[in-house]
Amino acid sequence: MVCRLGHEDEPLERMRHSCAHVMADAVRRLYPSAKITIGPVIEDGFFYDFDYPAGFTPEDLKKIEAEMAKIVKENLPFESKEIGKKEALKFFKDQGENYKLEIINGIEGETVTFYTHGKFTDLCKGPHVAKTGDIKAFKLLKVSGAYWRGDEKNAMLQRIYGTAFTSKKDLDAYLKRLEEAEKRDHRKLGQELELFEINPDIGGGLILWLPKGATVRQIIEHFLQKELTAAGYGWVNTPHLGRAALWETSGHLEFFKENMYAPMEVEGQTYYIKPMNCPFHIEIYHSRRRSYRELPVRLAEFGTVYRFERSGVLHGLTRVRGFTQDDAHIFCTPEQVETEINDCFALVLKVLRAFGLTEFKAYVATKPEKAVGRDADWEKATKALKGAVELHKIPYEMDEGGGAFYGPKIDLKIKDALGRFWQLSTIQFDFNLPERFQIGYQAADGHSHRPFMVHRALLGSFERFFGILIEHYAGAFPVWLAPVQAVLLTISDNQSEYAQKVCDRLRRAGFRAEMDGRNEKLGLKIREAQLKKIPYMLVIGDKEMQEEKIAVRGRTEGDLGAMSLEDFINRCLGPWSSVHGPRSMGGTP
């Protein structure tokens, strides 16, 4: 059975759907003991899961791919047939395909659909291309383990991933992107550049920020702190755990408990480590009576939270168990909603552009069938979100009915250097928590009213954002973000004292500078600095020392010649500081 992605009516997805069937046929021909399960079309390709305890090797994939080519050359027609479930069960029982029996028993109705090409028949709704010969360029990519139905209590299956395109040119371009993505993998670069570490003795999904990675994080935090303070946010700090009563009021124990860590008992009270910062911010707002004259209230925090994720889905920095959000909550009156959302969305765009992220796509999610809150509030909030996206001329799609039960939202995706889209920023209304916590403000009419509440994150989490930045820049951060901006390279021990003085002068000027005074060949030092992706290499020999100069090599510019230290500093600290970063929300030069 091939599960449908929802786009198979598009020619490319239909071809990939058919290619998954051809792959299952090839596996059946080569490895008759392998049992077939399901294989959906996914973004950029497809996969199929097999019960094959021996496991597939890279050499097996080559054989399967060659067999697929034979099936494609046979130009077999895809034929569909609707049959009764009883007959379908007998068919697969006779073949010993017990997974198919389980699938059929879970299908409603009295009939199912088979698709057949040649001697291979699969349980499938279709559609497919007309013949196997319509499948053009394809490639099997890798094999991994996967539990049946995603449940670790079930059997471990072998998952083979593949892709298909309408031309070899498109396939080659895709494979080249994959190769580049592998080079940029933040997990690989994180180790090579000594940015972060995940230590199994500490626990999966828990990040150790090493000095260089922590330096980049501090730069990001400092930049955000300045901009959020200028935008009128008040800074708060909240505990890492709270009493069970807090999470009962918020609803987390009812709706989110499976993602929370086990409780702890302290002096007869039950506490939970926080999975979110929202309840704490609400209690801060609720700590005293509020007047409409005080609103909007904007509360910001770099808040660390912990959520349980199964080990199988953990992935470097992008899927973790402990992470720090650039979290904020806005409490405002209905009259302030439009302005607040516009300003918030403008802040999102300016911050992301400052980090060199310039291509966006937004998704505005509207009211689902089951929701809390008044219709008028949903309409006002949705209108404000849509208006902000249109005001800033960002391409967007309406996700009708895709909002959370507690409010509509904007999800903003960014495109990285490889053309991949990443979900980052979110602006989310919440009509649920203000009711649960009974927060209010005294309006001009003298009565208490419920404020509009907005959750917003500009970067999402520092961990995930840092992982995306590493891959976007392939570890070669712009100068203002680089953990080491310049390294002093001596040719011999004779220049050590002078080089140290230069290094100290650079540090006083605000540079993150280091010195490499090892008794090694200059070529080796330069190569190592390049591998560390340091923006500037400042070479000092006897001539540079005598003339009180430095020979400058840029990471991208190459040899920039000899210059005085002051000229180098002025070059880097020009109208826009490549060293210190954006002075304001003006972004990159």
pLDDT digits (tens, 9 = 90+) for 282-311: 999 999 999 999 999 999 999 999 999 988
Residue 587 lies in a domain: no
Check 290, 307, 456, 533 and give the catalytic one.
Answer: 307
Residue 282 lies in a domain: no
Check 19, 124, 278, 503 and give the catalytic one.
Answer: 278
Q: Who's near 118: CB < 8 A, 6+ residues apart?
A: 25, 71, 74, 76, 132
Cα–Cα distance between 525 and 517 in angstroms, integer?
9
Q: How many residues does the chain have?
A: 589
Residue 579 lies in a domain: no
152 and 260 fall within a common domain: no
For 249, 359, 429, 482, the CA distances from 404, given in Å and listed in that order, are 18, 26, 9, 38
CATH for 37? 3.30.980.10
222 and 243 fall within a common domain: no
pLDDT of residue 1: 46
Burial class (CB in 10 A: 0-12, 13-18, 19+), 165: buried
Q: How confident is the model at residue 583 (pLDDT cuts 50, 70, 90)?
A: low
328 and 458 fall within a common domain: yes
Comparison of pLDDT for 4 and 140, the residue scoring more: 140
Check 212, 252, 321, 329 and give the catalytic one.
Answer: 329
Q: How far is CA 162 from its chain centroid?
A: 22
Residue 144 lies in a domain: yes
Select from 141, 143, 138, 139 the least CA-distant residue to 57: 143
Residue 229 lies in a domain: yes
Catalytic residue flag (residue 455): yes
User: What would the mean pLDDT of 403-414 be, rounded to a whole number?
Assistant: 93
Q: Could you give the 3-state DSSP secondary structure of residue 134?
A: helix
Cα–Cα distance between 299 and 228 in angstroms, integer?
10
pLDDT digits (tens, 9 = 90+) for 40-94: 899 889 999 999 999 999 999 999 999 999 999 999 999 999 999 999 999 999 9
User: What would the mean pLDDT of 159-186 be, rounded to a whole number?
Assistant: 94
Check 134, 327, 411, 416 and give the catalytic one.
Answer: 327
pLDDT of residue 577: 64
pLDDT digits (tens, 9 = 90+) for 20-41: 999 999 999 999 999 999 988 9
Cα–Cα distance between 166 and 143 in angstroms, integer?
23
pLDDT of residue 428: 95
pLDDT of residue 10: 86
Q: Which pTM was predicted?
A: 0.87
Select from 71, 38, 31 the least CA-distant residue to 53: 31
| The amino acid at 27 | V
pLDDT of residue 31: 96
Catalytic residue flag (residue 409): yes
Check 184, 217, 321, 409 and give the catalytic one.
Answer: 409
Residue 219 lies in a domain: yes
450 and 516 fall within a common domain: no
Q: How confident is the model at residue 135 (pLDDT cuts 50, 70, 90)?
A: very high
109 and 220 fall within a common domain: no
43 and 79 fall within a common domain: yes
Strand segments (E) across 148-262: 156-165, 196-197, 208-209, 234-235, 241-243
Which of 151-155, 289-293, 506-510 has the weakest average pLDDT? 151-155
Catalytic residue flag (residue 86): no
Q: Domain boundary at 443, 473, 503, which?
A: 473
425 and 498 fall within a common domain: no
Select from 182, 181, 219, 214 the least CA-distant residue to 195: 214
Cis link prior to 127 (omega < 30° from 0)? yes
Mean pLDDT value across the chain: 92
Catalytic residue flag (residue 184): no
Q: How far is CA 257 from its chain centroid?
A: 23
For 73, 258, 306, 580, the CA distances from 507, given in Å and listed in that order, are 66, 48, 37, 12
Q: What is the span of the domain harbouring residue 15? A: 11-184
Task: Check pLDDT > 90 for residue 484.
Answer: yes
Q: Is residue 54 a contact partner of residue 165, using CB atoms and an 8 Å limit?
A: no
Task: Check pLDDT > 60 for residue 576.
Answer: no
30 and 83 fall within a common domain: yes
3-state secondary structure 276-314: CCHHHHHHHHCCCCCECCCCCEEEEEEEEEECCCCHHHC
Cα–Cα distance between 540 and 516 in angstroms, integer?
11
pLDDT digits (tens, 9 = 90+) for 367-394: 999 999 899 999 999 999 999 999 999 9
356 and 376 fall within a common domain: yes
Q: Domain boundary at 432, 451, 473, which?
A: 473
265 and 139 fall within a common domain: no
Total domains, the chain: 4
User: What would the mean pLDDT of 250-265 be, rounded to a whole number?
Assistant: 93
Select from 159, 172, 128 the least CA-distant residue to 13: 128
% of the chain exceeding 90 in pLDDT:
86
Check 49, 281, 325, 332 and give the catalytic one.
Answer: 325
User: What would the mean pLDDT of 313-335 be, rounded to a whole number?
Assistant: 95
Q: Domain boundary at 184, 203, 227, which?
A: 184
Phi and psi torsions of 270, nearest 5°: -95, 130
Q: Could you give the 3-state DSSP secondary structure of residue 503?
A: helix
386 and 509 fall within a common domain: no
The sign of the CA dihedral 383, 389, 390, 392 is positive
CATH for 540? 3.40.50.800
Catalytic residue flag (residue 281): no
Residue 422 lies in a domain: yes
252 and 309 fall within a common domain: no
Check 16, 21, 281, 455 and give the catalytic one.
Answer: 455
Residue 3 lies in a domain: no
